Chain A
């Protein structure tokens, strides 16, 4: 097992390329599980309320024990969601301020360049994938989607839960407005997770049957080199490995080594 902190290893050996690299710590893995459970629970107790007229909606609600209990369950899970969001926010902020948490999720111009390079790669106009650091542009997109979505859901959810108190200071129309936004954002989040996230980690031929790194914390070096080579280089100090096509390109252009980022 190669530890990210010791930077004490070599690579190039076939056997070692299959060895695991520690990518996520225990806290991160627990956070993800909790998020999975609360998000799924909120969707199952929430979307039937939005689509109240559909037969599947009333079937789910009846299965859960009726609308009143469904709502109670939804609010319980929502409280859980708020707490875990707060925990995450505090954890990251404190870490960033202390210097122990690198701002690895902050989008940069490189992400924009990576996205365009990916498009060109998929269309075939370049022959090599972009090289990603710890989180690629897709993962950052998803992370900030969840952050923004969570903010919207929490704010509108509070308005819906306490309409009499909210309307002491804010206009009443905000309550039905919050209802529309809460339901719309929920549907959007649900679809993005089901389509995009499930593809990225389960259905993509590269990941099928599933990317277990978020649960085990570990990823094989081979995968690291394929998906997050810049992170690997930064952590281990080893130079960024070149793909076959790049090697031939490099030798054509110059002998200069590519710097890791």
Chain B
């Protein structure tokens, strides 16, 4: 009956199951080329499936009434990273016979979620990492909205994610719209989206890729200084943008940084209440310090300080040396005091040691 329109469907009807070389033993993801015969067989399987699935109007109705489109773009798949390596049944097990078994998914989303486990057959390491992520925590608590592999990577059209770093941010932005909007306007985001800047962080740079942790934990808050420090203490990188590489050291030398350093060494992680980079500079909305809207320029700094020091007045922000090392030009009082003790301590101790030596010398001679 089907063969009337679909000549290749005759094979299905006769009950012969075309053997797939990949069945039961998935080709490893890193294999450069499958043996020629296997490719040949795989191709023929894909062709058979495409027989129906190249139809753009091919659909099925799921349990909740949603209509699932079953069209697959064969050329997109062929051009994807899996093209030439995997066949349909490598991921869609159980559909090698026709008629296909009844789809049990009751909604489009649960259909997608059902395939979460499939990727782990080859990508076990990354799959396991996702089990530690906050996305998985959300998923296992019953929410269907958390992303699984295909939400970020795509299904039939998986390409290498690092072709475009902007693509990564965009991908996160499909769910995290507000954050993405802020990021796009920030100094990092604008550089990425306008100029495809290679140096600025994208979402995954700070949040991780597969084992994303909650960003509101004390642990993350305390360790976040390392994320900023990675680039902002790199002299070469900072020279490209006319930024000071001393920002990290000056932060650590000051009261807030010192406290955070001590707290990080404690075994139990506590909320210190002391600011890290993001508390003053913002998180997704980081603006250049030359931007009038930036939280860190002088006129805005008092409001920033007042978040923790409500009784601060106009002079108070000057207590922060704005990431400058004291020098003759910047914070000269502090600089002179530093120099004063650099001189006084050695001179004083040297003089006293000399006195002690002379005393001992005389006592020795008296014997």
Contacts and interface: CB of A to CB of B under 8 A. Distances in A.
Interface in B124-170: none
Interface string B321-345: 1000010000101100110110011
A250 interface: no
Given A58-B262, A62-B265, A67-B259, A176 B349 contact: no
B317 to A, nearest CB: 6
Interface in A137-186: 138, 163-165, 167-168, 170-177, 179-181, 184-185
B230 interface: no
Given A171-B315, A199-B356, A124 B365 contact: yes
Contact of B360 (A61, A185, A187, A205): A205
B266 A184 contact: no
B345 A187 contact: yes
B333 A188 contact: no
Given A66-B266, A119-B358, A188-B341, A170 B261 contact: no
B337 A180 contact: yes
B340 to A, nearest CB: 7
B313 interface: yes
A167 B340 contact: no
A123 interface: yes
B360 A170 contact: no
B243 interface: no
B319 interface: yes
A167 B316 contact: yes
B254 interface: yes
B263 A67 contact: yes
A53 interface: yes
B334 A180 contact: yes
B2 interface: no
Contact of A167 (B266, B313, B338): B313
A196 B262 CA distance: 32
B359 to A, nearest CB: 6
B11 interface: no
Interface string A48-84: 0100110000100110001100000000000000000
Nearest to B253: A52
Given A163-B319, A164-B313, A168-B313, A188 B345 contact: yes
Given A122-B359, A122-B362, A196-B352, A62 B266 contact: yes
Given A49-B258, A122-B362, A188-B345, A175 B313 contact: no
A206 interface: yes
Contacts of B313: 164, 167-168
A191 B266 CA distance: 29
Given A173-B334, A177-B334, A195-B353, A188 B316 contact: no
Contacts of A49: 258
Contacts of B36: none
A207 to B, nearest CB: 11
Interface in B261-296: 261-263, 265-266, 270
A11 interface: no
Nearest to B338: A180
Given A66-B262, A184-B340, A176 B254 contact: yes
A206 B364 CA distance: 11
Interface residues of A, number: 42
A184 B345 contact: yes
A58 B265 contact: yes
B311 interface: yes
A180 B321 contact: no
A216 B340 CA distance: 39
A215 interface: no
B361 interface: yes
Interface in A103-160: 119, 121-124, 138
A204 interface: yes
A164 B311 contact: yes
A165 B340 CA distance: 27
A116 to B, nearest CB: 12
A192 interface: yes
B260 to A, nearest CB: 9
Contact of A173 (B312, B331, B359): B331
Contacts of A177: 331, 333-334, 337
Contacts of B362: 121-124
Interface centre among B355, B358, B360, B361 (most CB of A within 10 A): B355
B359 A172 contact: no
Contact of B361 (A58, A122, A175, A184): A122
Given A164-B309, A204-B359, A61 B316 contact: no
A176 B330 CA distance: 12
B226 interface: no
Contacts of A124: 362, 365
Given A58-B261, A177-B334, A179-B255, 14 more contacts: A52-B258, A163-B316, A163-B319, A167-B312, A172-B319, A175-B319, A177-B331, A177-B337, A180-B334, A181-B341, A187-B345, A195-B349, A195-B353, A204-B363
7 contacts: A58-B262, A61-B262, A62-B265, A167-B316, A174-B333, A180-B338, A196-B355
Interface of A: 49, 52-53, 58, 61-62, 66-67, 119, 121-124, 138, 163-165, 167-168, 170-177, 179-181, 184-185, 187-188, 191-192, 195-196, 199, 204-206
The list of the 4 closest CB pairs from A to B, nearest first, reads A172-B318, A184-B341, A175-B319, A67-B262
